[in-house]
Structure 1
């Protein structure tokens, strides 16, 4: 495989500078055996035009970085994407992104390149990650011809794995924030939800270390085992 074999062919709409940026994106790193604390994690949240995985579009991206055991407030990301012909669903009442904000947003190609440069080779975390992973992956493919291959862990699974005593396995983010008495201000905006998820994840990293889960690779393996047991038929 060539150095950039994991990239799909670039979209014809990319200019030369955008193509160079695309080609210079670092290859995602697999989860390794550095400590959880040493690993740089990108916590992401998306706001979308709706919940249809194949039709709706990413409207905004918010992300924060966890590094050295804390949220690094010098590394924050937020972009609203310009979607001039998007039909908004009732979700606009939740995330508050109206037509004027979306029309004034960033060009999707530039915004997505900015985001992937922000991510670098780091793994991603999200609450209900399969939705964010699919929507982000589709946006990257459609706008950049880029295949998202970064490790993407689901905080909604990590929480019940590490805190079985909570007995709130199917809970939403608000339930876990309440369980740990985390006080958050604004919610249902991408950057605010990413920060709330990161604060929850700091607690979960502490729980992981207490359970001798000390590396990203070990966390991924334990999570995979837990999901297999959960999906196994009971007799």
Structure 2
């Protein structure tokens, strides 16, 4: 018997495990595997699990009748006189006696500590985020489809990585092709399946703060697409258009290309990657003006 449990399981890992094991509950896979397959599967889990935790338990011919391994966890296996135990870190309650005096126990000290934690979290969020944009066949989420996704991973205010892909949805309205420059032939030759793009895109943006321009539009389409493949998505969101409106700048409208011109940002609109770049540059300028 083999049992593998995971948190934040990437779609590619779930696909691998589902070929050999039965997922009896979210992130819990069970089955019978030989040693070679078990070791190869566990290796793939460890190589592709980026933010989550994993635990492998399997039958073994020893005194405990089992073996286990962990990955990405503060809990780790420990051999104690031939018996395998699990080593856990001290909890806040158990480690209270080891707390340094400089932390303090007064209300003022606790307040300062809480504020420092909040500042650290806020700094972490500002240092790592994803700018995203979508192109779709229309405005109606019930009948229209995503045809292109784009995203920039930002670390410490600089572009660290990027993602762009087209989805082959078949037919595109002529007016959308005229606006975006994306044709049915382009989707056929360069596009991928919806499931492949959505699952890969989910891995790229999962557990990160999302920045976008008029982001509510993109979120409606994204959440619907993620829901189709049982992908949970409830991120922290920053809408750059809302931030721009608060600046009360003198523009005819708040379309992305209009605001980009105001900030002297030259770009070709209505392609996902280009719109991401424009949004990122506007957001950067807004932050510098704080």
Structure 1 segment 219-234 matched on structure 2, within 5 A: none
Q: Which has the higher contact order (CA 8 A, sep 6+)?
A: 1
Aligned to 1:40: 128
Aligned to 2:183: 98
Q: CA RMSD in A?
A: 3.3
**Bigger Cα displacement from structure 2, 108-117 vs 36-45:** 36-45
Q: CA deviation at 1:52?
A: 0.9
Q: Is the 8 A contact 1:71 1:198 kept in 2?
A: no
Distance in 2 separating the partners of 1:134 and 1:47 = 13
Within the alignment, does 1:195 sit opposite 2:277 as a pair? Answer: yes
Q: CA deviation at 1:168?
A: 4.3
Distance in 1 separating the partners of 2:17 and 2:162 = 22
3-state SS of 2:279 partner? helix
3-state SS of 2:286 partner? helix
3-state SS of 1:90 partner? helix
3-state SS of 2:173 partner? coil
Within the alignment, does 1:172 sit opposite 2:255 as a pair? Answer: yes
Residue in structure 1 matching 2:230, options 145, 153, 163 = 145
Compare CA radii of gyration and give the structure with the larger one: 2
Within the alignment, does 1:65 sit opposite 2:153 as a pair? Answer: yes
Distance in 1 separating the partners of 2:17 and 2:164 = 20
TM-score, length-scaled by structure 1: 0.70
Aligned to 2:169: 83
Distance in 1 separating the partners of 2:288 and 2:282 = 10
Within the alignment, does 1:181 sit opposite 2:264 as a pair? Answer: yes
Aligned to 2:143: 55
Aligned pairs, how many?
191
Distance in 2 separating the partners of 1:147 and 1:170 = 34
Deviations 1:20-77 (A, max 9, x none): 9x966858xxx973327852111111010111121101001011122212233xx011
3-state SS of 1:33 partner? helix
**Bigger Cα displacement from structure 2, 35-44 vs 104-113:** 35-44
Deviations 1:120-164 (A, max 9, x none): 31111111111000011111112x122321122211101122x23
Q: Is the 8 A contact 1:160 1:167 kept in 2?
A: no
Aligned to 1:204: 286
Q: CA deviation at 1:17?
A: 2.7
Q: Is the 8 A contact 2:206 2:233 kept in 1?
A: no
Q: Is the 8 A contact 1:59 1:82 kept in 2?
A: yes
Residue in structure 2 matching 1:113, options 199, 211, 229 = 199
Q: CA deviation at 1:119?
A: 1.4
3-state SS of 1:134 partner? helix
Q: Is the 8 A contact 1:37 1:68 kept in 2?
A: no
Aligned to 2:63: none
Q: Is the 8 A contact 1:58 1:81 kept in 2?
A: yes
Distance in 2 separating the partners of 1:124 and 1:190 = 15
Q: Is the 8 A contact 1:60 1:78 kept in 2?
A: yes
3-state SS of 1:196 partner? helix
